[in-house]
Amino acid sequence: MNPSPTTPAEPTEPDLLAAVRAGDLAAYAVLYERHRPAALRLAISIAGPTRAEDLVGDAFTNTLRQLLAGRGPEHAVGPYLQMAVRNAYRTSYRREKRVVLIDDFTDLEPAAAVDDPWHAQVENRLATRALASLPARWQQVLRLSTLERRPLDEVAAIMGTSTGAAAQLAHRAREALRLAYLAEHVRPPETEECRSMIPALARQARGNGTSRRARVEAHLGGCPPCRSAGTEISSVARTLHPAGRV
């Protein structure tokens, strides 16, 4: 009996980036297919569907130019492309007035971008969607305790619970908000199995996913899109406050 053929291993991102630097445009085509959906999703969030394709095209062109010049990312292109999309938007809309949708969830904004109003606008939109995805009771405790800055005993009275229970609820809701915020940075996967990976990747990036780590790692080994999503989530997670902070 002939042995079954083995499936060739997917090229790693560092290998593809090195190949592009050496002039292999086919390698860049692979990176384009992997990262275009996430880049397009971000561009739509920033500028809407009409301008999104132009922003993505500019971002990929500029990134290719940097790689061919021996610069740019060496290990993961996803976060670099996200910044390239934002820079393309900033160039096109330099005079656009900042819109702040959530100004009290400051721990959700990457520290490296605090002076970039266009970046802050995007992050606030993602935070708004993340908040809307939470259960109503968690939204309520976050609005009362964080947005309205009410004292904890007043929050407890409004919600019909004890002060201690309100504090625990607020703590759980804030961590759930951070996880939902991380998930907003990647495009919803097409398959059910991949969709189940996104919350797991967010928890793992926050240091809370040890119970499913083996399953997640096994899935990532054969799924380049989820590996890319994991890289992007981990990149954003490094900018957030530790999981234990209330």
Domain boundaries, the chain: 12-92
**Given this model, what pLDDT does residue 93 score?**
57
**Given this model, what pLDDT does residue 162 score?**
92
**Given this model, what pLDDT does residue 219 score?**
87
**Given this model, what pLDDT does residue 5 score?**
52
Q: What is the architecture of the domain spanning 12-92?
A: Orthogonal Bundle (1.10)
**Given this model, what pLDDT does residue 157 score?**
92
Encoded tokens for 17? 């980036």
Backbone angles phi, psi at 75, to 5 degrees: -115, -35
Q: Show the low-confidence residues of the chain (pLDDT under 70).
A: 1-9, 92-124, 188, 209-211, 239, 241-246
- What SS3 class is residue 63? helix
**Given this model, what pLDDT does residue 97 score?**
38
CA distances from 85 to 100, 117, 184, 188, 192 (A): 19, 14, 16, 19, 28
Encoded tokens for 241? 């406050």
**Given this model, what pLDDT does residue 210 score?**
67
User: Distance (Å, rounded) from C-alpha 111 to C-alpha 216?
Assistant: 28
